[in-house]
Structure 1
């Protein structure tokens, strides 16, 4: 099926587009490590595999590590002089001559919507997962949501009632596991097969702290059920206080792997886990490789084994810690996990289920087809809402002003530093 989609897209002259994808990495807001960067990368690579033109423009003062050493064209418009910043963005994107401009966050959308207006091309905004926004969300004629949770919210948002809301779940490219790195990490952590490994791959911060705690509770329950187990958390520290709290987890063996050698392209190491507790993109990557995969559930002590009867409920929130399963029987779900761990036929059946549903639901080429439908439905910029542009600008200032202030203080310290003379 995927091969047919690629063939049709490559050989149909009516489906030719040239998309400028725009995303921000601003040090006052993040480090450029997260699923949204890889999701955009997968979409752009999928578009190029389908014979389309696609280029990523990164705006801000940090270049995301996921975009280093790529064959895909990526252009970094670095924030230096505030007065020259928008002209630089405008000239770079205009030089690419896109037919569509597609932003992946509110900050980059402010700039991309202005450039799109100048070029009179459609401007699209993706909400790349996460909870529903509680404050400002920009107006856009076309909004892409990764989850039903977000899509339903946007459909009921008064300012977006005339907009088209597109539910196009997160997509992933197939990828290989790295046996060499996995072997090295197994040796470093003394993983010898005597204990079952529960793996959690995530940024270590407030957003995912509860999912790590649920994974730790799962290890406790497995140990109590006479299945010796340990927890490995693989990721980068996003919040030092959150990391400190998680380090105080007791009664189980827990290892935090923070070395960039292993955290860069960490998805290559999901084979380390006998069980993977996944969220969002990480869940999908584990499912694609047929792992025994669980997802966190809001208000529960342990994550849920993903089964045919609860998959749709968990996917509604993009397999996030906000996941909810009506009338969820936590004890019955854990018992099903024990049966899978103790019965080879049940384990094989579960692995086949998650692998098949990942291929059917998370294929990047199906995402490309859906995005092309979106792009080809529009050929001009449409209406501009001046007040909303002004509000969007205020949001942008909130993130860029701290960088300007920090640089100002840095310059003051350098100029005021005492000099020595011979």
Structure 2
């Protein structure tokens, strides 16, 4: 089969390292190994201040702590020992580091931009995009032949879940109104989205539509956590480690998911109605056929903007969904998941892409000589 040996390189920037790009990497790596897309000797190399809890337990996993300049030597040791044919980077800092490593080692480089705002400029290397917004921006600045749009990064749901036990752990009464789930870290990055989620629940309760909001995630900023903890009515915070480590498994016990990025896609995977924040709305909006393309384009991020949005109509859509849930007539969203987000539908794409990189890759040593100090400075600023 001649599967390629790949090193997946990812940087832990914060003390939590629980972000969606870690989860996407874990899902992709495990699927690629299982279906022999890559060599069984492929591995994940995580570097930074702390080891990502998401990646702990993966068989071929190494961590290098960036507590001194010698961390680069340790990373070089891992590369020398494992001899990957391809280094697949999952963040900008990892990509910068690959520029330095490329001086000393003979490997090809791929980069996955997992979302976020558009970059000012991009390296001219093969780049996979989860977001149409980022893909279009890259194609406007570089050769389209180097860009690949492949949002599929979520596992198909095959495991059975003990819903009764989960409800017991979270003290959720399925008969006590509609339960909304929002998964994110308690940080300023998600403050606006949490504000909109709280606003929606308060509006619904004022309309006598009994609703509860559960916000599940790690505490990154204590002041943000305290702000939302002070909201006593119908808002509940969950930050226990055993519950947040794999928070998406909580989705089945909730009625509606308020999701951004990967969180929205996981909601679709479980067949749940999905709401996402919208930059020109003070409440999250229900994703349906009329606005899916716009939300998908922006990766279901806070940058989503719906032209000619009418607040009353959006609120009515949500109330209609609640009515359907209560009458047992709710539609399922698995078809959206299978088309756009199921990791199994990307396996052939990645197999071919890895094969192509060995045969034809514009990224070479000759293009990085003389600029390694620039990238070294960027890495030092990151850590």
Normalised by the size of structure 2, how large is the TM-score?
Answer: 0.90
Structure (1 or 2) with the greater helix fraction: 1
Match runs of 1:184-333 below 5 Å: 184-187=168-171, 191=173, 193-249=175-231, 252-333=233-314
Question: Is the 1:283–1:319 contact (alpha carbons within 8 Å) kept by the matching residues of 2?
Answer: yes
Distance, in Å, in 2 between the alignment partners of 1:293 and 1:367 is: 23
* Aligned counterpart for 2:50 among listed residues 55, 62, 76: 62
Is residue 98 from structure 1 mapped to residue 84 from structure 2 by the alignment? yes
Distance, in Å, in 1 between the alignment partners of 2:79 and 2:143 is: 29
The CA deviation string for residues 333-357 of structure 1, in whole angstroms up to 9 with x for no partner, is 3212222322369964532xx2111
Q: Cα gap change, 1:394/1:16 in structure 2, threshold over 3 Å: closer, same or farther?
A: same
Partner of 2:6: 19
SS of corresponding position for 1:214: helix
The CA deviation string for residues 7-44 of structure 1, in whole angstroms up to 9 with x for no partner, is xxxxxx3x622111000114xx4521110001011111
Distance, in Å, in 2 between the alignment partners of 1:313 and 1:367 is: 22
Distance, in Å, in 1 between the alignment partners of 2:369 and 2:83 is: 24
Structure with max Cα Rg: 1
Distance, in Å, in 1 between the alignment partners of 2:294 and 2:15 is: 30
Q: Cα gap change, 1:20/1:181 in structure 2, threshold over 3 Å: closer, same or farther?
A: farther
Partner of 1:79: 66
Distance, in Å, in 2 between the alignment partners of 1:80 and 1:199 is: 37
Distance, in Å, in 2 between the alignment partners of 1:147 and 1:192 is: 35
Moved more, 116-125 or 198-207: 116-125
Tell me by how many angstroms 1:367 deviates.
Answer: 2.5
Partner of 1:142: 126
Normalised by the size of structure 1, how large is the TM-score?
Answer: 0.82
Partner of 1:7: none
* Aligned counterpart for 1:367 among listed residues 333, 343, 346: 346
Q: Cα gap change, 1:94/1:181 in structure 2, threshold over 3 Å: closer, same or farther?
A: farther
Please list every run of 5 or more consecutive structure 2 residues that lacks an aligned counterpart in the other structure. none
Q: Cα gap change, 1:349/1:360 in structure 2, threshold over 3 Å: closer, same or farther?
A: farther
Aligned length: 374
Please list every run of 5 or more consecutive structure 1 residues that lacks an aligned counterpart in the other structure. 1-12, 401-422
Distance, in Å, in 1 between the alignment partners of 2:285 and 2:318 is: 9
Query: Over the residues paired in the alignment, what is the CA RMSD in angstroms?
Result: 2.4
